[in-house]
């Protein structure tokens, strides 16, 4: 979490950094700050979101660095906001990540007399660097001495009083871009930097970049040798991050699903035959992800298990319990929107060490999880900016459905079915009657404290994802369960007027009807999400008539409902509290 943006060698550097920070604000929105260099380093910091800020108090400088914070160590205060200035004023520094050994280092520095001004781990890096440079300026040697002491996933950017910039990537992503007129930019993601740069280089882990006299040089921090930087051309289209005419990114991204699902299969002809062979010859296949991506993983495991049995869903944060099971005959399919989720990266690194073949299905091009893979499948749904995953989640599920189809039939006829579903979805999303029903249901739910979602079979991961979407965007307490769990305890939660959402498809219909009756008999208000109405429903939300895709359309109902509840509660659906889009800390 947290985002870094910097502009080096442009007369409007501070404004460019302000605009850049707005584009990466989804990475953390507790506080933000910018440092600019004129004759001295000047810093402006604020708590809260940067989104509405029009003008900075800071004068423009030709070099500026900025940071948007998701607080890890130390409360949300102006003091704790980055950039942090060295006590001798020689440099200022921002960090994305966590200095894991900060307490131990802080204790030593305090013993040496350093007086800390903030509660952050980042100030410990500032203090280490101050100590390391002494009377000198920052150079490769004293900078690398500090780096050697840092543990964890932490990427830093330092602006010095004499107009130099030092960048170091450890774990958390950092990209350097170059503009037409040879200014340089740094950012934590590719999409945000594409506005300012026509070419880019993703820093390798443990790479140092030094900017001085309008030039950059790269070094390997382990042996301090110079590295060649090769810039790649930017693909602007894939990185488009414009809200268009929509009031929120979330709504735009929900509507984009009528096109994005088809885009997921763009590379299927090229990659599925090779992937299918690998799946069929592997000992165990693990499908891995965190949060929504983990529910997508559960859904994919369900689909693939129809074809072969040795398929396991593994939430990324639980891998340690299974670590001793992995071996070179195994395959892992890794799901991630950002490609930078710390839990997932750690799992993949461990699996790779055990020789597991890694297939990454990732949305963000050039991300860590994309680069680490033995076989990379671009999810290709376009930049997802709303903090809650929408089109990436359905894209992942669709990827699994298409792969399961290919494993069974060894053809690509599934693409036609996806095209038909996309057309139905398009009509459904513009059906005013259905949209009004969703708004009315949102209004009803917004007044409740608790709500339960029941699914079964293919729709169980969807019920879990449904509940997550409601919780994180509209802050309502929602829990998803298998309808099979009901009689074994869950039914005790049902009282008069408790809302229970039931997800129906053709396969689970008979059992879901029984479950719906059982909760209704205890006073529940049954909200049926299905292709056709059932007598047991108190409220009915009609899905598109696209049998195979009930899982996806049920999730789209969840997205729309939670979006509407958030608006009714005057919440920002794009930036739910306490969250960030890219979870780069553990
Ligand atoms: C929920 C959500 C998160 C992410 C999770 C993994 O709406 O967005 O649960 O799914 O943090 O992120 P990625 O997919 O970037 O690895």
What mean pLDDT is predicted for residues 128-135?
94
The residue whose CA has the least distance to atom 3 of ligand 1 is 291
Q: Which residues sit with their C-beta closer than 6 Å to ligand 1?
A: 290-293, 336-338, 341, 344, 388-389, 468, 472, 583
Check: CB of residue 177 under 8 Å from CB of residue 184: yes
* Residues 139 and 31 grouped into a single domain: yes
In a domain, 144, yes or no: yes
* Alpha carbon nearest to ligand 1 atom 10, residue: 292
Is 245 within the bounds of a domain? no
Q: Is the pLDDT of residue 236 over 80?
A: no
Do the domain assignments include residue 189?
yes
Per the structure, the count of domains in the chain is 3
- Which string of DSSP letters, residue by residue, matches 119-187? S-SHHHHHHHHHHHHTTS---HHHHHHHHHH--SSEEEEEEETTS-EEEE-SSS--EEEE-TTS-EEEE
How many A from CA of 523 to the centre of ligand 1? 35
Q: Which two tokens stand for residue 110?
A: 């305090």
Q: Which atom of ligand 1 is nearest to the CA of 291?
A: 9
Burial status of residue 37 (CB atoms within 10 A of its CB: 0-12, 13-18, 19 or more): buried
Q: Is 384 helix (H, G, I), strand (E, B) or coil?
A: coil
Cα-to-centroid distance, 266 and ligand 1 (Å): 23
Q: How confident is the model at residue 61 (pLDDT cuts 50, 70, 90)?
A: confident
**Segment 525-535, tens digit of pLDDT:** 999 999 999 99
State whether 274 and 230 are in the same domain.
no
Q: How close is the Cα of 20 to the center of ligand 1, in Å?
A: 22
Q: Which of 364, 396, 430 is the last residue of a domain?
A: 430
Let me know if residue 63 belongs to a domain.
yes
438 and 371: one domain? Answer: no
pLDDT band for position 237 (cuts 50, 70, 90): low
Residue 322 sits in the same domain as residue 220: no
User: Which residue is closest in CA terms to ligand 1's atom 9?
Assistant: 291
Domain CATH for 203: 3.60.20.10
Instruction: Looking at the structure, tell me whether residues 227 and 130 fall in a common domain.
Output: yes
Q: Is the pLDDT of residue 238 over 70?
A: no
Whether residues 62 and 180 fall in one domain: yes
Beta strand pairing call for 450-455 and 63-69: unpaired
Answer yes or no: do 400 and 265 share one domain.
yes
Of 398, 430, 462, at which residue does a domain stop?
A: 430
Domain encompassing residue 352: 251-430
Which residue, by CA, sits nearest to atom 16 of ligand 1?
A: 336
pLDDT at 239 exceeding the cut of 90 = no
Residues 421 and 445 in one domain: no
**If we measure between CA atoms, which residue out of 583, 577, 581 comes closest to residue 76?**
577
> What are the φ/ψ torsions at residue 456 (nearest 5 degrees)?
-155, 150
480-505 pLDDT tens trace = 999 999 999 999 999 999 999 999 99
In a domain, 246, yes or no: no
Query: Dmax of the chain from CA atoms?
Result: 81
Distance in angstroms (rounded) separating the CA atoms of residues 446 and 84? 42
357 and 458 fall within a common domain: no
389 Cα–ligand 1 center, Å: 6
Residues recognised as catalytic: 2, 581
Q: Which atom of ligand 1 is nearest to the CA of 581?
A: 8
Q: Is residue 407 part of a domain?
A: yes
Residue 390 lies in a domain: yes
Do both 387 and 269 map to the same domain? Answer: yes
Domain end, chosen from 378, 406, 430, is at: 430
**pLDDT tens-digit readout, 559-583:** 999 999 999 999 999 999 988 877 8
What is the CATH number for 275? 3.40.50.10490
Report whether pLDDT(288) > 60: yes
Question: Is there a cis peptide before residue 66, judged by omega within 30 degrees of 0?
Answer: no
The reply to whether 437 and 530 lie within a common domain is: yes
Q: With beta carbons less than 8 A apart as the criterion, state whether 430 and 423 touch.
A: no
Residues 6+ apart with CB under 8 A from 272: 402, 403, 406, 412
Atom of ligand 1 nearest to the CA of 393: 10
Would residue 49 count as lying in a domain? Answer: yes
Q: Does 53 lie in the same domain as 8?
A: yes
- The predicted model gives 111-118 an average pLDDT of 93
């Amino acid at each position: 979490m947290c985002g870094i943006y910097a502009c080096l060698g442009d007369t409007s550097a501070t404004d460019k950094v302000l605009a850049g920070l707005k584009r990466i604000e989804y990475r953390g929105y507790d506080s933000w700050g910018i440092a600019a260099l004129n004759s001295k380093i000047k810093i402006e910091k604020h708590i809260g979101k940067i989104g509405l800020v029009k003008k900075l108090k800071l004068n423009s400088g030709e070099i500026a660095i900025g940071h948007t914070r998701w607080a890890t160590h130390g409360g949300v205060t102006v003091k704790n906001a980055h950039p942090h200035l060295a006590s001798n004023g020689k440099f200022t520094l921002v960090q994305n990540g966590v200095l894991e050994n900060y307490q131990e280092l802080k204790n030593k520095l305090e013993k040496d007399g350093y007086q800390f001004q903030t509660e952050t781990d980042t100030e410990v890096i500032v203090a280490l660097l101050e100590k390391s440079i002494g009377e000198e300026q920052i150079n490769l040697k004293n900078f690398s001495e500090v780096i050697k002491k840092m543990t964890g996933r932490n990427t830093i950017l330092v602006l010095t009083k004499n107009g130099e910039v030092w960048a170091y990537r450890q774990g958390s992503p950092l990209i350097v871009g170059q503009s037409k007129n040879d200014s340089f930019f740094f950012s934590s993601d590719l999409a945000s930097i594409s506005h300012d740069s026509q070419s880019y280089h993703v820093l390798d882990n443990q790479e140092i970049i030094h900017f001085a006299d309008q030039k950059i040089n790269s070094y390997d921090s382990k042996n301090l040798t110079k590295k060649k930087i090769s810039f790649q051309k930017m693909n602007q289209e894939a990185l488009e991050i414009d809200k268009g005419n929509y009031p929120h990114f979330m709504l735009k991204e929900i509507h984009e699903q009528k096109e994005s699902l088809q885009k997921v299969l763009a590379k299927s002809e090229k990659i599925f035959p090779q992937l299918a062979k690998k799946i069929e010859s592997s000992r165990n296949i693990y499908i891995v992800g965190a949060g929504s991506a983990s529910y997508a993983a559960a859904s994919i495991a369900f689909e693939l298990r129809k074809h072969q049995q040795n398929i396991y869903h593994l939430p990324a944060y639980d891998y340690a319990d299974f670590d001793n099971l992995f071996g070179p005959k195994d395959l892992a399919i890794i799901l991630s929107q950002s490609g930078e989720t710390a839990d997932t990266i750690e799992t993949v690194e461990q699996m790779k060490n055990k020789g597991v073949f890694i297939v990454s299905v990732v949305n963000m091009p050039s991300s860590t999880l994309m680069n680490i893979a033995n076989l990379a499948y671009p999810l290709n749904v376009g930049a997802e900016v709303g903090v809650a995953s929408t089109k990436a989640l359905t894209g992942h599920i669709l990827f699994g459905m298409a792969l399961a189809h290919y494993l069974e039939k060894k053809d690509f006829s599934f693409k036609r079915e996806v095209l038909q579903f996309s057309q139905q979805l398009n009509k459904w999303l513009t059906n005013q009657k259905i949209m009004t029903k969703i708004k009315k249901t949102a209004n009803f739910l917004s007044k409740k404290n608790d709500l339960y979602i029941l699914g079964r079979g293919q729709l169980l991961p969807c019920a879990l994802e449904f509940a997550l979407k409601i919780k994180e965007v509209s802050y309502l307490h929602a829990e998803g369960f298998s309808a099979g769990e009901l009689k074994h305890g869950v039914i005790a939660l049902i009282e008069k007027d408790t809302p229970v959402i039931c997800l129906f498809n053709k396969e689970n219909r008979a059992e879901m009807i029984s479950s719906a009756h059982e909760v209704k008999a205890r006073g529940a208000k049954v909200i049926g999400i299905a292709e056709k109405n059932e007598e047991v429903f108190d409220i009915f939300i009609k899905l598109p008539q696209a049998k195979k895709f009930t899982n996806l359309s049920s999730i789209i109902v969840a997205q729309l409902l939670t979006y509407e509840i958030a608006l009714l509660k005057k919440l920002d659906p794009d930036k739910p509290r306490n969250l960030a889009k890219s979870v780069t800390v553990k």
